[in-house]
Amino acid sequence: MKITHVDAIPYRIAYRKPLRFASGEVHAAEHVLVRVHTDDGIVGVADAPPRPFTYGETQRGVVAVIEDLFADQVVGASLLERESIRARLDRTVGNPVAKSAIDMAMWDALGRSLNLSVGDMLGGYTDRMRVSHMLGFDSPAAMVDEATRMRDDYGITVFKVKVGRRPVSLDTAVVRALREGLGDDVELYVDGNRGWTAAESARAMAEMADLGLTLAEELCPADDVVSRRWLVSRLDIPFVADESVTTPAEVTREILGGSATAVSIKTARTGFTGSMRAHHLCEGLGVDVVMGNQIDGQLGTACTVAFGAAFALTSRRAGELSNFLDMSDDLITEPLTIRDGELAVRPGPGLGVEIDPDKLAAYRIDR
Residue 97 or residue 106: which is nearer to ligand MUC going by CB? Answer: 97
* 125 close to 309: Cβ distance less than 8 angstroms: yes
Cβ 80 to ligand MUC, closest distance in Å? 31
> Among the candidate windows 139-147, 172-180, 197-205, 287-295, which touches ligand MUC by CB under 6 A?
287-295
Q: Alpha helices of the chain — where are they, by DSSP H?
A: 52-55, 59-65, 71-74, 82-89, 96-114, 118-122, 140-154, 168-182, 198-207, 225-234, 248-256, 267-285, 298-308, 312-316, 357-363
**d(C-alpha 312, C-alpha 282), whole Å:** 12
Q: Based on the residue annotation, tell me whether 334 is a catalytic residue of this protein.
A: no
Please pick, among 120, 146, 191, 330, the residue that the annotation labels catalytic.
191
Residue 326 interacting partner from Mg ion, ligand MUC, none (CB closer than 5 to 8 Å by kind): none
294 is catalytic: yes
Site for ligand MUC in 219-278 (CB under 6 A): 242
Binds ligand MUC by CB under 6 A, chosen from 140, 238, 248, 292: 292
Identity of the residue numbered 189: Y
| 25 a catalytic residue | no
Active site residue 191: yes
> Which of 73, 244, 273, 293: binder of ligand MUC (CB under 6 A)?
293
Does the footprint of Mg ion cover residue 330 (CB under 5 A)?
Answer: no
Q: Does the N-terminal peptide bond of residue 349 adopt cis geometry, omega within 30 degrees of 0?
A: yes
| Gap between the Cα atoms of 106 and 80, Å rounded | 9
Residue 162 falls in the annotated catalytic set: yes
Number of residues lying near Mg ion (CB under 5 A): 3
Which DSSP string do the residues of 247-303 spell out, in sequence order?
SHHHHHHHHHTTS-SEEEE-HHHHHHHHHHHHHHHHHHHT-EEEE--SS--HHHHHH
CB of residue 53 vs Mg ion: minimum separation in angstroms?
Answer: 12
Sites for Mg ion among residues 223-282 (CB under 5 A): 242
Closer CB to ligand MUC, residue 156 or residue 295?
295
**Cα(116)–Cα(265) distance, integer angstroms:** 23
Q: How far apart are CA 254 and CA 272, in angstroms?
A: 21
To the query of whether residue 30 is one of the catalytic residues in this protein, the response is: no
**191 binds Mg ion per the rule CB under 5 A:** yes
Which of the residues 47, 120, 242, 243 is marked catalytic? 242
Nearest-CB residue to ligand MUC? 51
216-228 CB burial, b ≥16 within 10 A, e <16: bbbbbbbebeebb
Q: Which of 108, 217, 320, 326 is catalytic?
A: 217
For Mg ion, which residue has the nearest CB? 242
HSE-CB at 171 with a 13 A cutoff on CA atoms is 28
Q: Are 119 and 131 in contact (CB under 8 A)?
A: no
Query: What are the residue numbers of the active site?
Result: 162, 191, 217, 242, 266, 294
Residue numbers at the binding site for Mg ion (CB under 5 A):
191, 217, 242
Residue numbers at the binding site for ligand MUC (CB under 6 A):
21, 51, 54, 191, 193, 242, 292-295
